[in-house]
Every structure is written in structure tokens, then in C-alpha cells.
Copies of this chain bind each other. A is one copy, B any other.
Amino acid sequence: MSKLADATPEEVRLAMRRAKESFGPFRTLSGRKRSSLLCRIAEKIKGSKETLIQTAERETALGEKRLGMELVRTVSEIERFADFARKEEWRNRQFESADPLRQPLPKPNMVTQRIPIGPVVVIGACNFPFAISVVGTDTISALAVGCPVIVKSHPEHAQTCQSIADLVKEAIEENNSPEYCFQLVHGQDHLVTRSLVQDPNASCIAFTGSLVGGQALSKLVAERPSPIPFHAEMGSLNAVFALPRAIGADVRKLARNYLNAVNLFAGQMCTKPGAFILMEDSSTPAFLDEISEEIRRQRVLPLLNHSVYLNYLETTDALTKKMEVIGSTVIDEREIKNPGNIRIFTMPAKEFMESPETRTEAFGPSSIVVRARNESEMLEVASSLEGSLTCSLFAENEDRSLAENLIPILESKCGRFLWNGFPPGVVPGPATHHGGPWPATTDSRFTSIGLKAYQRFVRPVCRQGFPERP
């Protein structure tokens, strides 16, 4: 399929120039017109639902059920942004009246409102072929506010990307919108991504992927002659702290919920709990036993693809050499292609704090149970954490005093803070915030999911002294 060939540097430059040229016409469309473009995109995707899911299933092994749910959520987000684009409340218009009699000088009127920032480069994730890809929140929120978008397709689901892009192109044509307000480029080679983020016509980058990838791109962006905002949503540890009474309350239920969260979609979730911190006491052995019981009850799911599988094996094999394994599954490759075997480790808090490499995200269904000897060690673990998308705290009334000490520390480490709950699986709503301090993201002040995702792509301009119709 020659259309999926890597873009050459010249093709990238051309795409970026076309995006820049389309910025003027695209940003001056009415909110209603951009809204109808998004509606059309949503309709096209709904209309090709079955084909898209089949294509994505061939490329990701995520399963039809999960892909179906993801597609529904993706479409509903597009529709939410269509509504948002139509209302144009995002312009956040602020007005100061003129005061011609002010001393010593007359005051002109001032109108400040937000405008789109310019062409946005979107580099999506491997684990959400619909929701964090070609028509994910990054693309749709940028289009909603009038930014042209250039998506770099994901090599592991390039055909899904192309099929969706074809639908978007049809929608653009039928809606009579600027041809190049949306473009897709393919790139197995990192060179394509490099060319995109270094292109002078890019105004903002939105990336979802690994810490290593995010760091490399961050460095490239910092070297640009004219810097632009670079937003990366990267790996995250998502530490869960469980206080003594909360564990003692129902060891079986807690172990089951923990494993369900670790193994959700084979652990390939940016909010998978990678560490579970408890304080050793009389209920610890029973809890660890329940975990190994629960591991046996879990279903092993296929990982996204062979490279994710190899990477997961390598990471968890390295962890196995450093710490005790509470339990693991052993499905082999003849039974399930690229099996996501669960591996739950355990180690003392002191060792956990001393070996930062254990704290990096293992992309797949593994997690570490960290055993603190006492309250102060638990607080130390909390303080030693890096930034994360989420932190969770399980506590009962009797755990109150320790909980009160942990809350400010954990809140300072994350973008979403859960009380008696595990992080994966949130439906986007008005209070959605998906971000967190480095290394969870490059800028904790923004979100990449939910309606506020557009805030990365707008900037205020104040018009001073303009007549009503200049």
C-alpha cells in the first residue's frame, strides 16, 4: 500500500506550509461552520464503524468490544466539541469601555478574546487507535478552535489512521472547508516526527507516548530557533496508597479491584496503577495471598503488538531479578499471540526508594506492592514520588491522621487524586483533568482529555481602540 509510505522531508515541509496557508481561511470560518465540520466527521465515523473496528482489531488486538466502546466514546467527544465550537464561549471575550474624559489621557476601549494559536502537530498513542489518534481529543479540540492539524500516523495502526483520515477528508470536502485544515502523514522513521516538530510553520505540538519519546521530542523542540509549546502526556506510575484499616476491611475485594485495574486492557493504560504502597501489619500476608489467588482468576489478554510484548518481557524480566514475585501468569505464545502475562512484584519501601529504575512505567499488566515498615516510611515514599497522572488513597475513618498527612503530599504529585478508588476508566465530563507534574506531562497546567484540552491551542489578543466594525 504505497499511500502508507513514510513522508519525505519535502512532503512534511509541504504539508506544514499548506497547514499554515490554510490557517487564515480556517480560523475565519464561523463557529457554526467548524461545528458542522466536526458533526460530519462524527457521522462519517459512525457510518464506517464496523470497518474501522475490524481494521483496528487487525492492527491492535484490543478486541472488538473494547474498540467498539472506544469508538463510541471518540464519536461522543467529537459531538461534544462540535457543540463547543458552535457556542464559541472559548473566546472568553472581555471588554473594557472607552473613557474619553479620563485624565490625563482619554482611555480607549479594550476587547480581549482568544484566537487559535496556529497549526498543531498531533502525535498520537499506540493504545487508543480512536480516542488518542487521528480524531482524538488533540485533533478535535484544535479543529474546534480553528487550528489546522497535521497528524503523524501511528506506525502500529497506520491503516486505521489512514481510513479515519480518508473520512475526515471527505467531511472537509462536503462541508466546503479549507482542504488542508487537516492532513495525515505517515512515518515509521523517527525522521518524519523530527521534521514535523522542527518545522517553522508548526505552532504547537501535542504528543502522547513514552517518556523516552517525549524527552527526545522535548529536546528537539527546545532547539528550535523559535520555541513553541510542546505538550507531551507520557508514562505514569499512578501510585496507590492503602492505609491499614482500608486493607483490613476486605482483603479479597481490594485485591480483586487492584488486579482488575492492573490488568484492564492488559495494563496498557496510562493510568494503570504501577505501585501499591501498604504498611506492613498483620493483614499483609492475607492480602498478598489474595493477590496471588486473584492473579490466577484473571484472564490473560493479548498485548497490542509484538514490540510492546518484547518490551514488556524485557522490563518485567529485569524487575524479576531485583524483587520478589507475588504471582504471575504463564500463558505462552502458542495459546495467545503476544500474551500479556500478569506479574505482581513486592519489595520493601526502602529498596523501592533507593532504586528509581523500579519506578518507571512498565507498559503492560505488572505492578509492584511496596511494603513500608511504618507511617514515616510511607510518608517518605510519598515524598519521593515523581509526578504522575494520578495518585490514589484508600483509607477508613480510623486511618484519618495518616491520611491527613498524606493528602497534601500526594496532591502535589498528581493531576487526579482518587479516594478509595483505582484510576483507570473515567468518562470525560466537565471536571475532567488528565495531566500531572513531570514526568507525567511536560506541563501540569493543561489537560489532554476533556473539553479543556483546547486551552493548549488558543492565546489571548487584546484589541485596543478598534471601532465596532473596523
The answer on a CB contact under 8 Å between B107 and A427 is yes
- Report B-chain residues with C-beta under 8 Å of the C-beta of A209: none
Q: Which of A215-232 touch B at CB < 8 Å?
A: 218-219, 222, 226-229
The answer on a CB contact under 8 Å between A433 and B461 is yes
Q: How far is the CA of A458 from the CA of B437 in the complex (A)?
A: 12
- Interface 0/1 of A430-445, CB less than 8 Å to B: 1111010111001111
CB contact under 8 A between A28 and B433, given known A414-B461, A416-B464, A444-B459: no
Chain B residue with the shortest CB-CB distance to A430: B94
User: In this assembly, does A173 line the interface, its C-beta being within 8 Å of a C-beta of chain B?
Assistant: no
User: In this assembly, does A403 line the interface, its C-beta being within 8 Å of a C-beta of chain B?
Assistant: yes
The answer on a CB contact under 8 Å between A420 and B222 is no
Looking at the assembled complex, report how far the CB atom of A394 sits from the nearest CB atom of chain B, in whole angstroms.
Answer: 11
User: In this assembly, does A470 line the interface, its C-beta being within 8 Å of a C-beta of chain B?
Assistant: yes
User: In this assembly, does A462 line the interface, its C-beta being within 8 Å of a C-beta of chain B?
Assistant: yes
Q: How far is the CA of A24 from the CA of B407 in the complex (A)?
A: 11
- Interface 0/1 of A406-450, CB less than 8 Å to B: 011001101111111100011101111101011100111101000
Chain B residue with the shortest CB-CB distance to A444: B459
Pick from A109-117, A292-300, A330-338 the stretch touching chain B: A109-117
Q: How far is the CA of A96 from the CA of B226 in the complex (A)?
A: 40
The answer on a CB contact under 8 Å between B407 and A470 is yes
The answer on a CB contact under 8 Å between A429 and B110 is yes
CB contact under 8 A between A96 and B462, given known A227-B438, A438-B226: no
The answer on a CB contact under 8 Å between B96 and A429 is yes
User: In this assembly, does A105 line the interface, its C-beta being within 8 Å of a C-beta of chain B?
Assistant: yes
The answer on a CB contact under 8 Å between B465 and A110 is no
Q: Give the number of copies in the complex.
A: 2
Chain B residue with the shortest CB-CB distance to A204: B445
Chain B residue with the shortest CB-CB distance to A24: B408
Q: How far is the CA of A397 from the CA of B149 in the complex (A)?
A: 36
CB contact under 8 A between A435 and B419, given known A218-B227, A411-B115: no
Looking at the assembled complex, report how far the CB atom of A403 sits from the nearest CB atom of chain B, in whole angstroms.
Answer: 7
Q: How far is the CA of A421 from the CA of B105 in the complex (A)?
A: 12
User: In this assembly, does A100 line the interface, its C-beta being within 8 Å of a C-beta of chain B?
Assistant: no
Q: How far is the CA of A117 from the CA of B436 in the complex (A)?
A: 11
Chain B residue with the shortest CB-CB distance to A222: B222
The answer on a CB contact under 8 Å between B416 and A433 is no
- Interface 0/1 of A155-196, CB less than 8 Å to B: 000000000000000000000000000000000000000000
Query: Which residues on A are within 8 Å of B, measured CB to CB?
Result: 23-24, 28, 94-96, 105, 107-108, 110-112, 115, 117-118, 218-219, 222, 226-229, 386-387, 395, 403, 407-408, 411-412, 414-421, 425-427, 429-433, 435, 437-439, 442-445, 447, 452, 455-456, 458-467, 470
**Nearest 3 pairs of A and B residues by beta carbon:** A222-B222, A110-B431, A433-B462
Known: A105-B425, A226-B439. 18 other contacts (CB 8 A): A24-B408, A95-B431, A107-B427, A110-B429, A111-B431, A112-B431, A115-B412, A117-B444, A118-B412, A416-B461, A416-B463, A416-B464, A417-B466, A432-B462, A433-B461, A435-B460, A444-B459, A445-B456
